[in-house]
Amino acid sequence: MPRVQLIKVGHPTAHQKFGQPLGIMYLAGYLRKNLPETEIQLLDMLPQGLNLAELVKKVADFQPDLLGISAMSFEAGELHELAAAVKKSFPRMPIVAGGPYVTTATNQAFSDQNLDFVVRCEGEQTLLELAQYLFSGSGSPAKILGLGFRENGAAQINPDRPYLENLDTLPFPAWDLIPVKKYFDLPRFGTAYVHKEYMQVMTSRGCPFHCTYCHRIFGVGFRARSPEKVIEELEALQQKFGIREIYFVDDCFNCKPSRAKRICDLIVERGLKFSINFPNGLRGDIFDEELLDKLKAAGTYRITYAVETASERMQKFIKKNLNLDQVKKVIELTDKKNVLVDGFFMIGFPGEKRSEVEQTLDFALESKLHSMNIFFVTPFEGTELYRQAKELGYQVQMETDASTYFFPKNYEICEVPSPELQQMAKRTFLKFYLNPRRLWRIFRLFPNKKQLPHLLWLFLKYTFKWA
């Protein structure tokens, strides 16, 4: 029986959050459906408390016929370290890498000779065909779309694979291959929660908008699972694992409002009782009051809107083209519906003026948001934003472990120097959360008030250690 081991590596960062590794869970579910005789093991490095040496031992114990490693951009160091350590001990073991880092920085990633293959973009079918090739010896890697391979030592990158159109054909993520309960007690995306028993759910892939900072691992365009299939998944999570809270993590859950409304209606009709959070940022200018009402009826207690910038010029530059007036109204309407409302903001875009940074921070302060997040722009290699920065003459090379949005970088790509940019963000953070009216509004709506002392501790920690 062939064995496949899939590992999600991790890099400790400030503001560390965890969520179930849906990427490798979907890959495992797809392999299991199409290669039922294959034994599959999933490892999630940080949530499972594994260091590099322990991962290598897990590989040695399992002896996979194919080892897959997935990484975000800031986790590239761990990916390469693990690949090197495994190759040193098991030089003949096939190693394939994938995930956002590999998709956006393919050439950089594949320059590592310890990697035998790389998978770009959406990986289910590509990984399946690679496994079939390795296990049966038939076919050729040169014919596998979306795959990078080596031929006589030279790297070859095949054309990308067309994206899967009918997402209903995908099996559910392999929940049983992860320690589900382990995630209940770990810091999660979105911070606030009603119930510990939660699961991340992705109901669609891709986004029709063209934001230049996006990795676009699922492409430009919106592909959605049917509402009925989503409900089938929610029912399974409730029945099999006792899940009581859902985090929808789509790139654009509300891209088709009628579909989003149908999902809400089915949740109510089926009598499903969930607390629902949207921590990944929804598109605020395509919301209407009916959708808000239906979301609340379905159990939604918190919504995040991805504003990014309050500058009309920067909205055009990053190609998000958000209707800021409409977003402001939707934030106010969400607050009136007694739903916690969070906002995402980004500062430090290439060529961004001081007045535009101030405009964004003022928008947050003057809004009806209950919470907000300020991220520092990072032009990831392979994104359009990276190309924009290079075209403007900025040097944006960085160490991969600095590739996070939590702190400004050690190079200047906007009018405000990085140290001052951080101070502006810190002052805004303090003004925002020390507003008495906002504090009262947060306290009044907060769903699990037992969490408040912990959140106060986090506030103090981030405020005084935000160097």
Residue 161 has pLDDT above 60, yes or no: yes
The mean per-residue pLDDT over the stretch 384-413 comes to 75
Q: Which of 137, 157, 177 is the last residue of a domain?
A: 157
Which pairs from 55-64 meet CB under 8 Å and 24+ separation? 55/7, 55/9, 55/82, 55/85, 56/82, 56/85, 56/86, 56/89, 58/5, 59/5, 59/86, 59/89, 59/90, 59/93, 60/89, 60/90, 62/3, 62/5, 63/3, 64/3, 64/4, 64/5, 64/93
What average pLDDT does range 113-135 have in this prediction?
A: 97
Per-residue pLDDT tens over the stretch 18-27? 899 999 999 9
What digits encode the pLDDT tens for the residues 260-293?
999 999 999 999 999 999 999 899 999 999 999 9
Looking at the predicted structure, is the pLDDT value of residue 466 above 80? no
DSSP 201-251: E--EE-BSS--TT---TT-BS-EE--HHHHHHHHHHHHHHH---EEEE--S
pLDDT over threshold 80, residue 454: no
At residue 467, the pLDDT reads 44
Whether 151 and 202 map to the same domain: the answer is: no
Residue the block writes with tokens 């607390």: 275
User: Is residue 256 classed exposed, middle or buried when 0-12, 13-18 and 19+ CB atoms within 10 A define those classes?
Assistant: middle
Same domain, residue pair 16 and 152? yes
Helix (H, G, I), strand (E, B) or coil at 268: helix
Asked whether residue 462 carries a pLDDT value surpassing 70, the answer given is no
183 in any annotated domain? no
Q: What is the pLDDT of residue 415?
A: 92
Residue 407: pLDDT over 70: no
Alpha carbon separation from 372 to 304, 341, 401 (Å, rounded): 9, 9, 24
Residue 399 pLDDT grade (very low, low, confident, very high; cuts 50, 70, 90): low
Q: Please give the share of the chain, as a percent, with pLDDT higher than 70.
A: 95
Give the domain CATH number at 140.
Answer: 3.40.50.280
Average pLDDT over residues 443-464: 79
Provide the pLDDT for residue 281: 82
Is residue 225 within 8 A of residue 178, CB to CB? The reply is no
Whole domain around residue 149: which residue ranges? 3-157
Q: Taking Cα atoms as reference points, which of 156, 235, 167 lies closest to residue 199?
A: 235
- Residue 164 domain flag: no
What is the rounded distance in angstroms from the CA atom of residue 233 to the CA atom of residue 246? Answer: 11
One DSSP character per residue, 66-91 reads: EEEEE--GGGHHHHHHHHHHHHHH-T
Q: Residue 244 half-sphere exposure, CB side, CA atoms within 13 Å?
A: 8
End residue of a domain, out of 157, 180, 214:
157
pTM attached to this predicted model: 0.94
Exposure string over 430-460, b if 16+ CB within 10 A, otherwise e: eebbeeeebeebbeebbeeeeeeeebeeeee
How many structural domains comprise the chain?
A: 2
Domain CATH number, residue 457? 3.80.30.20
